[in-house]
């Protein structure tokens, strides 16, 4: 296996806590990647400041500077490809990406989404889970396909919805799991352990039902 750290580009839109979790996993758990750049579509995103403080290369490509989505996607692709990443991670990137972009990174574009996909694609997942009376909720990491928040699931983590939960308490419980499963999925990818067959993700060549539901380690926060 290739022992050099894998070049990765991370895309963000806002807070950057998942980015922070990846950086933490590099430092504390020797996640074998090098973050070549963190690119944000909002120049004021706190996550870009976090990246700069961590000594990472950052770039803002403001989607508001582009008249159409295809032009924005093209600029983003050019910026990403300059860094020749093996993997592109959408770590809280909230713009919809077009087919040309998604096809260009097929098999090496990963997204974290705050729901147990296929439930609750799109925005406001915690409010929608509460409104639906869900008793379980969670987060998913998946390869990006051509529908929003769609594509083969790599790993999911489930949390309970507790009596008295509001969107804040539920989001915090899910976010802690996001910070665990995103670095895990990146590790599996860069270690060459993931493949996709018939729209299903295999780990070490095997369908493993449990990889789709990695239970929370302890308690419920
Ligand atoms: C995270 O909860 C992530 O799952 C979600 O945005 C948040 C970003 O937080 N992504 C999506 O909803 C994608 N559809 P962060 O900036 O603190 O990592």
Ligand 1 contact, 73 CB (< 6 A): no
Ligand 1 contact, 149 CB (< 6 A): yes
Give residue 91 CA to ligand 1 midpoint distance, Å: 6
Question: Which of the 8 DSSP states describes residue 205?
Answer: T
Q: Kindly report, residue by residue over 110-127, the tens digit of the pLDDT.
A: 999 999 999 999 999 999
Of 10, 18, 102, 177, best ligand 1 pocket probe by most atoms within 8 Å of the beta carbon: 18
Cα 102 to Cα 11, 99, 106, 148: the distances in Å are 14, 5, 6, 11
User: What is the H or E stretch that residue 139 is in?
Assistant: strand 136-143
Tally of CB atoms within 10 A around 87: 19
Give residue 69 CA to ligand 1 midpoint distance, Å: 21
Task: Choose among 87, 220, 88: nearest CA to 157.
Answer: 220
**Which residues, other chains included, contact 74 with Cβ-Cβ below 8 Å and sequence gap of 6+?**
100
Q: What is the pLDDT of residue 146?
A: 86
In the chain, pLDDT over 70 holds for what percent of residues?
Answer: 93
Catalytic machinery residues: 113
Give residue 112 CA to ligand 1 midpoint distance, Å: 7
Q: Kindly report, residue by residue over 158-196, the tens digit of the pLDDT.
A: 999 999 999 999 999 999 999 999 999 999 999 999 999
How sure is the predictor about 221, in pLDDT bands with cuts at 50, 70 and 90?
A: very low
Domains of the chain listed by start with CATH number = 6-215 (3.40.50.170)
Q: Kindly report, residue by residue over 33-46, the tens digit of the pLDDT.
A: 999 999 999 999 99
Ligand 1 contact, 92 CB (< 6 A): yes
Q: What is the pLDDT of residue 218?
A: 44
d(CA 27, CA 179): 14
**Which residues, other chains included, contact 99 with Cβ-Cβ below 8 Å and sequence gap of 6+?**
146
How sure is the predictor about 216, in pLDDT bands with cuts at 50, 70 and 90?
A: low
Atom 9 of ligand 1, residue of closest alpha carbon: 92
CB 12 within 8 A of CB 19: yes
Give residue 93 CA to ligand 1 midpoint distance, Å: 7
d(CA 79, CA 86): 14
Q: Please, what sign has the CA dihedral across residues 123, 15, 174, 186?
A: positive
How sure is the predictor about 207, in pLDDT bands with cuts at 50, 70 and 90?
A: confident
Which atom number of ligand 1 is nearest to the Cα of residue 112? 4
Atom 6 of ligand 1, residue of closest alpha carbon: 92
Task: Check whether 23 has a pLDDT greater than 70.
Answer: yes
Ligand 1 contact, 112 CB (< 6 A): yes
Of 90, 112, 128, best ligand 1 pocket probe by most atoms within 8 Å of the beta carbon: 112
CB 41 within 8 A of CB 95: yes
């Amino acid at each position: 296996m290739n022992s050099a750290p894998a070049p990765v580009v991370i895309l963000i839109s806002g807070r950057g806590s998942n980015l922070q979790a990846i950086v933490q996993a590099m430092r504390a758990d020797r996640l074998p990647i090098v973050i070549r750049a963190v690119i944000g579509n909002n120049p004021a995103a706190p996550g870009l400041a976090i990246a700069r403080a961590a000594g990472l290369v950052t770039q803002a490509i403001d989607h508001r500077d582009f008249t159409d989505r295809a032009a924005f996607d093209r600029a983003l692709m050019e910026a990403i490809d300059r860094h020749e990443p093996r993997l592109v991670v959408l770590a809280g990137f909230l713009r919809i990406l077009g087919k040309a972009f998604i096809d260009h990174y097929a098999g090496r574009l990963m997204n974290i989404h705050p729901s147990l996909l296929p439930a609750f694609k799109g925005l406001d997942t915690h409010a929608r889970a509460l409104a639906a009376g869900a008793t379980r909720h969670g987060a998913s990491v998946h390869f990006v396909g051509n529908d929003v928040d769609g594509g083969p699931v790599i790993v999911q983590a489930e949390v309970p919805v507790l009596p008295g939960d509001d969107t804040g308490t539920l989001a915090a419980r899910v976010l802690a799991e996001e910070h665990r499963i995103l670095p895990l999925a990146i590790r599996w990818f860069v270690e060459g352990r993931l493949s996709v067959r018939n729209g299903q993700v295999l780990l070490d060549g095997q369908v493993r039902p449990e990889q789709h539901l990695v239970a929370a380690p302890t308690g419920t926060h």
